[in-house]
Every structure is written in C-alpha cells, then in structure tokens.
C-alpha cells in the first residue's frame, strides 16, 4: 500500500471552500477509475490551519495512473488547482510513503486506512541499519497497549521521497478519551514507557516530531 501526502496550510477563512474542492476532486478521480481512499486531517497542534491530505493506493501502478492523469487531463488539473488556491502555496509539500507495518496485519487500503476521528503522528528518521529493530520495537509496544485496552489503529510508513530513512507512525483513535488514555499510560506505566523508549532508540532523536490531528473529511 502506498500513501501520497500533501501537507500544507489552508488560507484563513477558506476551510469550507477547501473541503468542497477536495470532494469535487475525489469524485472526479473516482469517475475515471482511480480508486484511492482520501482523508483530510486538520492539525490540533503546530501551525494554525495546517492540514494533511492523505491519499492511499493499494498498488504503485494505481498511484502512477493518478500521477499520469494529473499531468495529461486538463480538467483534473483545473480541479486540483482549485484545491491549491485555498492553500498557502509556499507551505505546501508532497511526499510518497510505503506501508511498512499495520497493527491489524496485512490489509487493503479500504479496510486498513478507514480514517478514525483523531490521529497522533510521530515522524522522524530511523538510524541506518536499525530498521528491523525499529519495526520490532513498534510491534511490541502496540501489542502491550492493545492488551491494556488502548483501541487504536496504528500504521508505520516508510518514506519513498526525501530522506530515505524517514518514517511516520500514525496512531488513530475514535475518541479524545482513547487518545488521552494512551497519553496517560505513556506517563504512568513504566513498562510501556520502556517499550516506547526502545522505539525512539532506533530513531535519530533530533528529527522526531509529534503532531495531533482531527479528521475533517
């Protein structure tokens, strides 16, 4: 599974028009046979009006088909340009990622990436030669939190653009209560703290960043 991310900032007072343009763009590509689950996330921390558009494709050739259509289909180009007009151009950034691990096992994007209401994202870089240790540490931490009633879908994505060791861990929750329970356990449970520390130990610490987001569409 592959994820195309457009991260940026929506212009002040333009959120409604931005979401309407995104719905039109999704309908347009679906009518032309491009099947991709697309979710829009709004930042709860960091920059005001920051958003992430995450489009998930089951196969690389579908992503390539989408890219081709964006280049050769003038009507689609107009639709996408409308989305961009509601964003601050200088703050926009595109990246491509590959699914490396999912807490629910191997699934299609239709099942695995059905968005929940809130998302906690840890981004950073894995130390060279430590990718296997990183995935193992993540899986052990996820097993531990699941045993203690933390209901979250968690996925690990490896960067295909930018820094080759770049990763992101996206944990999605159905409620703020579940997210708060996760944060509380991270502070009060020594074993969970140890497991999370093992994950961080495989990463380049100075590149790590955490964001909280809520689902907009």
Q: What does the alpha-carbon distance between residue 185 and residue 120 come to, in Å, rounded to a whole number?
A: 15
How many residues are recorded in the chain?
217
Of 51, 71, 72, 55, the residue nearest 63 (C-alpha): 55
pLDDT tens for residues 100-154?
888 776 655 555 557 889 999 988 888 888 888 888 888 888 888 888 888 888 8
Q: Does pLDDT of 40 surpass 80?
A: yes
Q: Does pLDDT of 208 surpass 80?
A: no
We report the CATH number of the domain holding residue 38 as 3.30.70.100
Judgement on whether residues 101 and 90 belong to the same structural domain of the protein: no
Judgement on whether residues 113 and 210 belong to the same structural domain of the protein: yes
In the chain, how many domains are there? 2
pLDDT tens for residues 171-196?
999 998 888 888 898 889 999 888 88
pLDDT reported for residue 197: 85
pLDDT reported for residue 66: 85
Q: What is the mean pLDDT of residues 41-54?
A: 88
Judgement on whether residues 88 and 133 belong to the same structural domain of the protein: no
Judgement on whether residues 105 and 186 belong to the same structural domain of the protein: yes
Judgement on whether residues 111 and 206 belong to the same structural domain of the protein: yes
Look at residues 61, 94, 127 and tell me which one is the last residue of a structural domain.
Answer: 94
Q: What is the mean pLDDT of residues 38-60?
A: 89
Judgement on whether residues 109 and 90 belong to the same structural domain of the protein: no
Q: What does the alpha-carbon distance between residue 98 and residue 56 come to, in Å, rounded to a whole number?
A: 10
Q: What is the mean pLDDT of residues 18-22?
A: 91
Domain membership of residue 39 as a residue range: 2-94
Q: How many CB atoms lie within 10 A of CB 187?
A: 8
* Torsion angle in degrees (nearest 10) through CA of 21, 24, 25, 30: 160
CA atoms within 13 A on the CB side of 127: 12
Judgement on whether residues 106 and 89 belong to the same structural domain of the protein: no
Supply the pTM of this predicted model.
0.84
Judgement on whether residues 80 and 110 belong to the same structural domain of the protein: no
Judgement on whether residues 139 and 169 belong to the same structural domain of the protein: yes
φ, ψ of residue 13 to 5 degrees: the values are 75, 10
Judgement on whether residues 109 and 160 belong to the same structural domain of the protein: yes
């Amino acid at each position: 599974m592959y994820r195309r991310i457009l991260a940026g900032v929506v212009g002040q007072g333009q959120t409604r028009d931005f979401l309407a343009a995104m719905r039109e763009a999704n309908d347009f590509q679906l009518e032309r046979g491009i099947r991709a689950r697309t979710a829009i996330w709004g930042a709860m921390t960091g920059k005001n009006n920051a958003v992430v558009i995450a489009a998930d494709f089951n196969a690389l050739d579908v992503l390539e088909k989408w890219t081709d259509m964006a280049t050769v289909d003038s009507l689609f180009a107009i639709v996408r340009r409308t989305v961009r007009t509601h964003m601050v151009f200088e703050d926009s950034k595109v990246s491509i990622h590959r699914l490396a691990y999912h807490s629910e096992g191997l699934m299609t994007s239709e099942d695995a990436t059905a968005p929940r209401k809130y998302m906690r994202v840890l981004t950073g870089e894995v130390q060279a030669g430590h990718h296997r240790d990183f995935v193992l540490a993540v899986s052990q931490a996820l097993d531990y939190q699941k045993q203690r009633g933390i209901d979250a879908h968690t996925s690990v994505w490896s960067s295909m653009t930018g820094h080759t060791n770049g990763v992101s861990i996206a944990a999605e929750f159905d409620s703020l209560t579940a997210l708060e329970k996760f944060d509380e356990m991270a502070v009060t449970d020594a074993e969970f703290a140890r497991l999370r520390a093992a994950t961080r130990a495989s990463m380049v610490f100075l590149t790590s960043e955490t964001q909280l987001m809520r689902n907009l569409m």
